[in-house]
A and B are shown apart, each in its own frame.
Chain A
Amino acid sequence: MAATVSIAESNGAGETVTASITNTNMGSNESVNLNPVTYPLTPNTRSYAKYQRFNVTAMGGASSVGNLKVWRTGSLGTGGTHAHVTNARTTSYGGAATYATPVNTAITGADQAMPTSEPGTANLGIAGSLSGTLTATGYSDYLIHQLTTDASATAGSTSTMNYQYDETA
């Protein structure tokens, strides 16, 4: 047991994949591991969306990887109204999202509030199903997520992302 799992992020037209991210900062630029000081969000705008996936690059004796959960911890910011929206959900899952060049406008299906604690059941799927598993190297479905602010927002988010999976050996 010891599958090698990282969080991959896709960016750009035609999808440039970064196999293992070091942060999931969001801002006014469409790029991986961005510096939010360089690319701050202007009030009443959305961040560029993140398209991220669980990335299994080696099974290492494991038989399957599944039960994917994502959630955020920390503050979304102060002043006004902030939201962190996503396609991750534990019920009425919309299936495997298709990659598109990330935008800073609303994305159909990515309209659920990002959980602020570990969800009770899987909220991101594999091959379009929340009960899906990876039995060989490969990717999960895309996790799409994005920050939104209103005109009264003053200070930005300090929240971070958490990713969890079960591995059967």
Chain B
Amino acid sequence: MQFTFFREDTKENEQVDLQTWGWVVKYHDGRELHQFDFVSGLFHQFSEIDLTLPFIFQVVDLQGEKDPFTILYNPESMQLFFFYRKGILDVGGENSRKETVIIFGYKEDKTRNHFCIFPSGELVITNDLNLVHF
């Protein structure tokens, strides 16, 4: 299944494959923004989230098999982030593979709290991303 992303600078649509996990934002006024919007078929970037407002931020198993991970976002004290760490590993070796870890969380004061979802679905929580390896 593919979703459409319209890139403003190129004025072109890009097709984005559905992933296992995606984020959902639920603002307090009832509006929602879905990274993968199954109603419109659109893909949304993290930069489209209004980070000035408080909201519920969820990372959701898009197959619906696992419970979501939820952050109650407070813009006054938290800086939210979400990205993918990808490895092209052991190139040419017996264990050659590509892997992705989904990393999200928030920075509060000087601490970055990282929530890392591994391909197995395991969640690792750390304030030091250098401790997280494929």
Contacts and interface: CB of A to CB of B under 8 A. Distances in A.
Interface of A: 1-2, 5-7, 21-25, 33, 58-61, 63, 73-74, 117-118, 120, 136, 160-169
B106 to A, nearest CB: 15
Contacts, number: 90
Given A61-B43, A118-B133, A2 B19 contact: yes
Given A61-B45, A118-B133, A166 B85 contact: yes
A22 B89 CA distance: 11
A1 B84 contact: yes
Interface stretch (B10-18, B60-68, B71-79, B112-120): B10-18
Contact of A61 (B5, B86, B91, B93): B5
B83 A167 contact: yes
Nearest to A52: B91
Contact of A169 (B10, B15, B45): B45
A17 B46 CA distance: 33
Contact of A58 (B14, B43, B82): B14
B45 to A, nearest CB: 5
